[in-house]
Amino acid sequence: MAAVAPTLARRIARPGMLPLCSRPQAWGRAARQSPGLPRAPSLLLTQRRAFSNNKILVELDEGSGIATMKLKSPPVNSLSLDFLTEFCISLEKLENNRGCRGVIFTSAIPKIFSSGLDITEMCRKSTEHYAEFWRAVQEMWLRVYGSNMVTVAAINGSSPAGGCLLALSCDYRIMAENPKFSIGLNEAQLGIVAPFWFKDTFVNVVGHRVAERSLQLGCLHSAPEALRIGLVDELVPEEKLQDKAAAVIAQWLALPDHARQLTKSMMRKLVLDRLVAHREEDIQNFISFITKESIQKSLHMYMEMLKKKKG
């Protein structure tokens, strides 16, 4: 991580400071630019602006107002504290750019969208570290789920647990139609529990019955099964994924921003408010849970299993 990054991490994590997401987002924020006529992004003669940090490449097409955030943290785009910090900073830059109206999240790592929360961040660390890490996980979700922009996940690889949460937090999910790619909230398989806001986000996408079964069994669903249960909205050949995502965003952006944004806020507010109101309690719950010896053993065994599978 660059020298400046720990300061930025503290900026998000320090309890005394205003968290970044305390600024109004989907609830109570002015509408973005008027959409005008729907235009196919590929037909525009426009300027592209790119910026990047260590782990995320961002490209903004200024003509269409669509940005792509490419996750690039080898080997598996795990959501470490550094990654989450850089992710939130990149997303905040886009939120503050009124010319940016939609974001595509995708991966620069072949076959993996994101392997979820970085398990090493949850193993044998200090209480302070757990608090900082969990606040960053919350921040990512609050920012994406509460974003005013149109958000699309172009899922070009497997996406367990926290990776699935990122996709679930978007407005629309398109997955590469490769049956080897899987997605789901598989926490139960690790011997841990998906927090209430992971669960709420999941329920809002697939419904209560499907979510309950999938969560209790810690299911990872293949791409075709994910489509069948409504976890993703469509499957397309991998080479068409990015174009399809841009076309979907252009379609959503054809509507008046204020109407779409207020509708999104109305649909998501209850779930968002629940975490905002109980953020500190949620951090304390995470710490109490993750510091249990039995949970540490389960995580250790899971990491060993990953290594064995490899060798």
Ligand X SMILES: CCCCCCCC/C=C\C/C=C/C(=O)SCCNC(=O)CCNC(=O)[C@H](O)C(C)(C)COP(=O)(O)OP(=O)(O)OC[C@H]1O[C@@H](n2cnc3c(N)ncnc32)[C@H](O)[C@@H]1OP(=O)(O)O
For the annotated catalytic residues, the residue numbers are: 117, 162, 186-187
**3-class DSSP state of 144:** helix
* Among positions 1, 193, 247, 262, the unique one binding ligand X when judged by CB under 6 A: 193
Q: Give yes or no for residue 127 binding ligand X (CB under 6 A).
A: no
- Least Cα distance to 272 among 172, 204, 207, 191 occurs for 204
CA count, 13 A, side-chain hemisphere, 123: 14
Q: Which of 41, 65, 160, 184 binds ligand X (CB under 6 A)?
A: 160
Q: Does 120 bind ligand X (CB under 6 A)?
A: yes
- Rounded Cα–Cα distance for residues 307 and 250 (Å): 42
User: How many chain residues interact with ligand X (CB under 6 A)?
Assistant: 27
Residue 84 CB contacts under 8 Å (≥ 6 apart), including other chains:
12, 133, 136, 137, 139, 140
Q: For the window 31-70, what string marks contact with ligand X as x by the rule CB under 6 A?
A: ----------------------------------------
Q: Which residue in the set 4, 75, 239, 293 belongs to the binding site for ligand X (CB under 6 A)?
A: 75
In this chain, which of 86, 187, 200, 257 binds ligand X, going by CB under 6 A? 187
Phi first, then psi, for residue 196 (nearest 5°) are -60, -30
Dihedral sign of CA atoms 138, 143, 147, 151 in order: negative
| Location of structure tokens 């939609």 | 102
Peptide bond into 75 cis (omega under 30): yes
Contact between 118 and ligand X by CB under 6 A: the answer reads: yes
- State which of residues 102, 146, 162, 184 lies at the interface with ligand X (CB under 6 A): 162
Q: Does 215 bind ligand X (CB under 6 A)?
A: no
What residues line the site for ligand X (CB under 6 A)?
Answer: 75-76, 78, 112, 115-120, 158, 160-162, 186-187, 190, 192-193, 195, 285-286, 289, 303, 306-307, 310
